[in-house]
Amino acid sequence: MTTNGVSIPPERVRAAREVAAVLVPSRRVALTTHVNADGDGVGSEVALWHLLTRRGLEAVIANPTPIPERFHFLLPNGADRSERAVREIAAADVVLVLDISDLSRLGDLARTIKDSHAVACIDHHVSRGSLPAGPRLVAPEAAATAELVFDLASALEWPLPPEAARALYVGLLTDTGAFRFANTSPRALRVAGALLERGVDPESIYESVYASAPEGRIRLMAEVLETLVVEPEIGLAWVTVPPDALQRHGATADDLDGIVEYPRSIAGVRLALLFRQIANGRVKVSFRSLGAVDVAELAHRFGGGGHSKAAGASLEGSIAEAQEKVLAAAREYLGQNPSSTPTRTVRLGP
């Protein structure tokens, strides 16, 4: 099937129709995504909010954590009810989970969603999932969940209003690293082109997403990068967020987005990590890689997951304990999978 100038695989068309079967007019739909929502999760939610409300459904966004401020420009008035997310999920006829298929990443909403009678999912992550049974539009080969929401609308011939196109463009833009990462497929660019044809202004979106940083975010970045450690002989680098850094700089977890890309950008580095303390005595680890290094495999060892080039996990214990475990596994992995090109030595400091 080809629509909007983009071919849609038959299996996605079938899955889109299965999801649409539960999205009938007059039903109340709660849209949600993982904790610390990113541009893909928020963009996909907002686009679906526009699509569903135009079709006579009552849709609300109900996330386990607040939507980051830099994505507020996408939010329609009254759409976000995350401050009462548990009640919205419980009252919904259908829960549509986006950009995640694991209950463990849904925070305080996990129990309520587990008890929901109708749970649909649209996701592009590599995971067996642990959501209750329901229709699924899942394709790990997709560049972003936003790409799959575009496919849903196209397969069902739902008109795509400019506001929805803008939100989907944000999802594609952020999950491909502004079309720099390995998941930037020819198809993703064709979808982006179709969205631009609907009036999306890429410069204004860039300004909102990437060029409106508060001063605290920049100072936080500088402090985190001061912790940089590089092991050039195996191509490993990591940074650590000091325990009180977010509070001191008036920053949020969203302000850490993209920092791990800096150690990954060092010549010769194949695997980059970011460590930070989170709630309940756990440590969040972000994994990024280049070349043939599969960080999803590494993250799975610690109960996490993601993509081959970008993944995450959380471990119990202190940062020092988490680093000991994760760095040992990373060194072992890199030793078993040597680079095909010579590693360049990196000098730190003056």
Classify domain 215-336 at the CATH topology level.
Answer: Diaminopimelate Epimerase; Chain A, domain 1 (3.10.310)
Residue 190 identity = R
Predicted confidence at residue 55, as pLDDT, reads 96
- What is the predicted pLDDT for the residue at 350? 34
CA distances to 200, 220, 233 from 174, in Å: 15, 20, 31
Number of alpha carbons in the 13 Å side-chain half-sphere of residue 267? 7
- CATH dotted code for 2-209: 3.90.1640.10
Give pLDDT, residue 125: 86
User: How far is the CA of 132 from the CAs of 18, 21, 47, 222, in angstroms?
Assistant: 15, 17, 24, 42
pLDDT along the chain (350 residues), means of 10: 84 97 95 94 98 97 95 96 96 96 89 90 84 93 97 96 98 94 93 96 95 93 97 97 95 91 96 94 94 91 87 93 97 84 40
Any idea which residue has 């000091």 for tokens? 242
The pTM for the full model equals 0.86
Partnered with residue 273 across adjacent β-strands are: 238, 287
Domain ranges for the chain? 2-209, 215-336
Distance, CA of 257 to CA of 37 (rounded, Å) = 11
Order of strands across the sheet with 58-61? 58-61, 28-33, 94-98, 119-123, 136-138
How high is the pLDDT of residue 343?
A: 40
